[in-house]
Amino acid sequence: MRATTELGDITRVDADAIVNAANSTLLGGGGVDGAIHAAAGPRLLAACREVRRTTYPDGLPVGDAVATPAFDLPARWVIHTVGPNRHAGQTDPALLASCFTRSLDVAADVGARTIAFPAVGAGVYGWSPDDAAVSAVGALRAWAGGSVEHVRFVLFNRSLLAAFDAALAALEPRA
């Protein structure tokens, strides 16, 4: 599996699946979540409401993931995951890593070959860019595989890009 980083807008990424750093309600919010809901159009909110009604009536648990169609986005699927909120005392890095692992599991379940991730947790949930990057890359390296061939970390600022580049470089074999 190949992993790359890029500076960009995840709502414009042409990938089989993009990951939404969602809140547990799945009903939209700010940051990446708000941008994805706005770009996908109102059918995404309707799909999320259906997921809440049928599968997660109490909300999507922290560290878990679920897929919906992507509707007006260039991707085919949106994989929603809920990061741990450091400000609310959710400081276990395993929960953050689970966001990435479960998103990869769900991507494989829907047959995605390419997936784009934002820096889950490294926003209003209070994780540092370095912590988010190390968790993401560690989860990716430990993942037991499936159909996913290319993971793209699509990051919206240079500090996040630098953190993810450093995390990927630290795991590359040295010559």
Q: Which of 33, 130, 131, 165 is catalytic?
A: 33
109 is catalytic: no
- Find where tokens 């991730």 sit: 117
Catalytic center residues: 33
